[in-house]
Amino acid sequence: MTDPITLGVIALIVLVALIAIRIPIAYAMILVGGIGVTMMDGPALMLSQLKTLAYGQFSIYDLSVVPMFVLMGALASRAGLSRALFRAANAWLGRMPGGTAMASIASCAGFGAVCGSSLATAVTMGRVALPELSRYKYSGALATGSLAAGGVLGILIPPSVVLIVYAVIVEASIVDMFAAALLPGILAVILFLLTIAIYVAINPKAGPAHGGVEPGEFREATIGVIPVLLIFGIVLGGIYAGLYTPTPAAAIGVVMVWLYGAVTRQIRIGELIESLKETASTTGMIYLILLGAEMMKIFMSRAGLPQATAEWIINSGHAPMTVMILLLVGLIALGCLMDSLSMILLVIPFFWPVLSELNGGIYQAADGAAFGMSTEDLKIWFGIIALIVVELGLITPPVGMNVFVISALAKDVPMSDTFKGVMPFFLAELVRVVLILLFPALTLWLPMLVRG
């Protein structure tokens, strides 16, 4: 019989090959995980697992927040929130050099806080902002690059579906993860705005300032964004204040976005039905991937591959931070090949045990915890860094998903220009990763404050 470790390695190679030939990742993981468990322990165990696995996985209470936030994002895409955000941001920032591109970043951050999806943020804000950027004669590289980069903010700024799924996988508090993501999200916005300022300082023609807006239009745009800020404040503010858990918060958010859309006549019965259909489709996809990831996790645990990998890394003598950096480089590479949710579900069950064992392994005996923090804090710190690196995959050549999405909207801008325009933001993201690696308090201070 094949050695379990060897079988696990072969299974991973087969899984990557199936993904490479465009087999949906959920089906690939279910197939490989199911066959692997059957080969190791026989069909009886596999059938026994299937009998209870789906219910056990999908009945986790924390996952009930996923369809609610997906529905909130679907309604937000149809409620005109994106246009209100961009109008207000452009009214405040547009008179500066590069101001309309800065407004795109700010509105992407605001919409990501309501939507929670990077691709949806890129698509929605691209449709709103690209015509304005073109009207003010922005270069194609800066216009498309800023929108592709701004779209990645949706994955980290809470509420984020990927953040929720990560918390479920490593058994971390969703509230803690939301709190931990807030400061790094704000830091990303600041770094992106600085990037645009430097870009237009070097090349003023790339992002000309416009003359601002009339006082009446300025007031109207500012007042128009207040409902969006209220929704964000009530949903996340209530979570941080301990008034309610994420699931009720998401339900409140859904109702508020729907009411906003109904009052502004953006959401009628047809839009509501389409939002519900989109939610059902997206949630079904997420849950099926979760099932496949759990089957792979069971198989790999029985094969002993994560444990063997952790033991090998610990015995290799590499410094803990070196291991962390190598894992992050691996995430960037994988981010060029698959979407963020699939990547988190596929690799975190392998990467997290390695870091957990390392944190409590031979280094702990000599110097305390390897990373200078508890395992619970390590979950939060690593999770935020991992999601930022996953963001990088969305704008990394040659398969940055956000770049393809924006290029499809800006048909007059060559994709090569979009990749050129996105690279300064890629460098800004690397700066953010380095800052969070050097200063873990950027992610850990707010969760500690929320816990009291």
State the SS3 of the chain. CCCHHHHHHHHHHHHHHHHHCCCCHHHHHHHHHHHHHHHHHCHHHHHHHHHHHHHHHHCCHHHHHHHHHHHHHHHHHHCCHHHHHHHHHHHHHCCCCCHHHHHHHHHHHHHHHHHCCHHHHHHHHHHHHHHHHHHCCCCHHHHHHHHHHHHHHHHCCCCCHHHHHHHHHHCCCHHHHHHHHHHHHHHHHHHHHHHHHHHHHHCHHHCCCCCCCCHHHHHHHHHHCHHHHHHHHHHHHHHHCCCCCHHHHHHHHHHHHHHHHHHCCCCCHHHHHHHHHHHHHHHHHHHHHHHHHHHHHHHHHHHCHHHHHHHHHHHHCCCHHHHHHHHHHHHHHHHCCCCHHHHHHHHHHHHHHHHHHHHCCHHHHHHCCCCCCCHHHHHHHHHHHHHHHHHHHCCCCCCCHHHHHHHHHCCCCCHHHHHHHHHHHHHHHHHHHHHHHHCCHHHHHHHHHHHC
Q: In this predicted model, what pLDDT tens digit does every residue of 270-291 receive, in sequence order?
A: 999 999 998 999 888 888 888 8
- Residues 76, 253: Cα–Cα separation, whole Å: 10
List, for the chain, all residue ranges whose pLDDT scores fall below the cut of 70: 1-2, 211-212, 314, 336-337, 360-370, 398-399, 452
Question: pTM score > 0.95 for this model?
Answer: no
Q: What's the pLDDT tens digit per position in 204-227? A: 888 887 766 777 888 888 888 888
Beta carbons of 397 and 362 less than 8 angstroms apart: no
Domain locations in the chain?
62-281
Q: What pLDDT was estimated at residue 365?
A: 41
pLDDT for 115: 77
